[in-house]
Amino acid sequence: MSNLQTEDQKVFDAIEKEKRRQVEGLELIPSENYVSGPVLECLGSVLTNKYSEGYSGKRYYGGCENVDTVETLAIERAKSLFNAEHVNVQPLSGAPANIAVYSAVLKEHDTVIGMDLSHGGHLTHGHPVTWMAKLFNFPRYKTKKDTGEIDYEEMEELAIKHNPKLLLVGYSAYSRDIDYERVQAIADKVGAITMADIAHIAGLIAAGEMNNPVPIFDIVTTTTHKTLRGPRGGMIMCKEKYAKKIDKAVFPGLQGGPHENNIAAKAVAFLEDSKPEYKQYALQVKKNAKQMQKKFKEKGYEIMFKGTENHLLLIDVTNKGITGSQAQEALDDAGITLNKNMIPDDQRSPMDPSGIRLGTPAITTRGMKEAEMDKIVDWIDRVITNIDDHELHKTIKEEVKEMCLNFPVPGIKI
């Protein structure tokens, strides 16, 4: 980045520091990952210069032959990864993708049944602070305390009672798999459209490590930057029947020119996701999460939803005498990044909730395996059980750095 350094030292310095933070620390936020060098190259490519409103072969601008190639590749690769009938790769991110679906299939005051936020749902699934919550009704189902699974009976009762237009699954903090056939059967009973937001788990689905809703559900949205290991962005997959409505909702309904540098990066990530090495990666992501679960349980931590079947763990830390924010802050000091999170029916506030959420996608991309998971859980436990011992946090930060430097981050040299 010598050009940037010459032009703008301040921005250059901030990026260099961020590179160092990403290389020397442990990234456990489950929605984050490290993209490959080729994906980064697409993001910084000349495609960022190009306007291309419309879709491949039907653009409102000239000179679109190369971006048409790129966008078509992204679409075809996504179709084959997920077994999708129709794909739109233009949504700028996960939230815009969800909003585009709502605007495609709902009218004002329609009902959408989704998961209670404290049980793992996302803001865009009807949180009262969002604009969507003002437009649509969002009755919510929860998870079951005894099994940790989605309460499908409650989902069905709500569906019969509220007659929803849309039945929504897919979460930000839920660690179990989803029975899509069962949800589809409930939707069929009441004539609802099914939507899955697989933002977190798309990579595990693409690799065949989790159930795939795409051949079953009407509409599936995802981000491309989490387990899929692509650029920050969104994508919508749907049955052919909804293709026109979805495309019109994205453009011209909500967005202007697509970000073709980003779409090229999506195409490259999807190619990477189709390789045998990626399947190995996805398997290891799950193995690492299971190993962490085992170690946390041994140390007396309470894992929500009765454990993990994907890449993440939601843990109640209050039995250790601290809150989620205290844990997050102290772990930050020790070079370990994760986030505070609500636990189901949390009695504490979202700004200082009872839990922490952590995941294995980024550390697995670095090549870390079960032995490293054991070390990481030991460090987290030492910080949590010595929350005010800043000297210990500093020592752990050095140990974390030493281990991390043995596991290079793709695409970053410092």
Interface positions with ligand PLP (CB under 6 A): 31, 93-95, 98, 122, 124, 170-172, 197, 199-200, 223
How many angstroms separate the CA atoms of 316 and 300, rounded?
A: 11
CB of 200 to ligand PLP, least distance (A): 5
Our CB check for ligand PLP shows the closer of 54 and 114 to be 114
How many angstroms separate the CA atoms of 269 and 278, rounded?
A: 10
- Torsion, Cα 320 396 312 143, to 10 degrees, reads 10
Our CB check for ligand PLP shows the closer of 305 and 379 to be 305
Our CB check for ligand PLP shows the closer of 207 and 236 to be 236
Residue that the structure tokens 């009441």 belong to: 190
Our CB check for ligand PLP shows the closer of 125 and 397 to be 125
CB of 40 to ligand PLP, least distance (A): 18
Tell which residue, 181, 324, 322, has the closest CA to residue 313.
324
Sign of CA pseudo-dihedral 210, 216, 217, 222: positive
Our CB check for ligand PLP shows the closer of 197 and 218 to be 197
Identify whether 232 is a catalytic site residue: yes
Residue that the structure tokens 């550390």 belong to: 363
> Which residue number is nearest to ligand PLP in terms of Cβ?
94
Residue that the structure tokens 């986030």 belong to: 339
CB of 400 to ligand PLP, least distance (A): 25
Our CB check for ligand PLP shows the closer of 36 and 93 to be 93
CB of 29 to ligand PLP, least distance (A): 10
| 310 and 200 Cβ atoms separated by less than 8 Å | yes
Residues of 132-142 as b/e, b for ≥16 C-beta within 10 angstroms?
Answer: bbebbebbbbb
Identify whether 72 is a catalytic site residue: no
Residue 165: half-sphere exposure toward Cβ, Cα within 13 Å: 15
Identify whether 239 is a catalytic site residue: no
How many angstroms separate the CA atoms of 114 and 102, rounded?
A: 13
CB within 8 Å of 209: residues ≥ 6 apart: 279, 282, 283, 285, 286
Catalytic residue among 16, 24, 41, 53: 53
How many angstroms separate the CA atoms of 94 and 225, rounded?
A: 9
Tokens of 266: 């999506």
How far separated are the first and last CA of the chain, in Å rounded? 12
Catalytic residue among 24, 51, 154, 318: 51
CB of 329 to ligand PLP, least distance (A): 21
Phi, psi of 179 (to 5 degrees): -90, 90
How many angstroms separate the CA atoms of 231 and 100, rounded?
A: 19
Catalytic residue among 77, 140, 226, 239: 226
* Parallel/antiparallel/unpaired status of strands 234-238 and 86-88: antiparallel
Identify whether 357 is a catalytic site residue: no
Our CB check for ligand PLP shows the closer of 99 and 292 to be 99
CB of 361 to ligand PLP, least distance (A): 12
Tokens of 35: 């993209």
Identify whether 226 is a catalytic site residue: yes
CB of 122 to ligand PLP, least distance (A): 4
Catalytic residue among 19, 79, 144, 232: 232
Catalytic residue among 71, 151, 197, 346: 197
Active site residues: 51, 53, 197, 223, 226, 232
